[in-house]
Amino acid sequence: SQTIHQWPATLVQPVGSPLSLECTVEGTSNPNLYWYRQAAGRGLQLLFYSVGIGQISSEVPQNLSASRPQDRQFILSSKKLLLSDSGFYLCAWSAGIYNEKLFFGSGTQLSVL
């Protein structure tokens, strides 16, 4: 069966520090991978989308970047965190012809202080 792993679960970082959140998928190949940020009143905001290794689509201009060094690995990064980067980050992968089945990781609560 397919599983998705996301870590860490919580992270407290000072402003200006770097960030690296990792997500890995097991049990499937060539998945579509997503990074979302969930905030109150803003729902699920799509940050990055990837259809394959090295193929990253950025949805919103921001202080973050994403990389996909391996087929089932998706990394969210920042060189210097801002206060506004605080939030709940979710990694996900999709299945189905229409991507209608979306499977989420357990999420990372990031607090930038």
Partner 1 sequence: AQSVTQLDSQVPVFEEAPVELRCNYSSSVSVYLFWYVQYPNQGLQLLLKYLSGSTLVKGINGFEAEFNKSQTSFHLRKPSVHISDTAEYFCAVSGGATNKLIFGTGTLLAVQP
Of the candidates 6, 19, 24, 49, which one interacts with partner 1 according to CB under 8 A? 49
Contact 94, 31 (CB under 8 A): yes
Rounded Cα distance, 74 and 76, in Å: 7
3-state secondary structure (DSSP) of residue 27: coil
Read off the tokens for 88.
């709940």
Q: Does 10 bind partner 1 (CB under 8 A)?
A: no
> Which of these segments, 14-22, 42-50, 63-71, 73-81, binds partner 1 (CB under 8 A)?
42-50
Under a CB-based contact definition with an 8 Å cutoff, are residues 85 and 70 in contact? no
* List 13, 45, 58, 67, residue binding partner 1 (CB under 8 A): 45
Q: Examine residue 101 and tell whether it contacts partner 1 (CB under 8 A).
A: yes
Q: Is 52 in the site for partner 1 (CB under 8 A)?
A: no
Count CA atoms closer than 13 A to 79's CA, side-chain side.
Answer: 1
**94 contacts partner 1 (rule: CB under 8 A):** yes
Q: What are phi and psi of 83, to 5 degrees?
A: -55, -35
Q: Which of 1, 14, 29, 43 binds partner 1 (CB under 8 A)?
A: 43
Which residues lie near partner 1 (CB under 8 A)? 32, 34, 36, 41-46, 49, 51, 57, 94, 98-102, 104
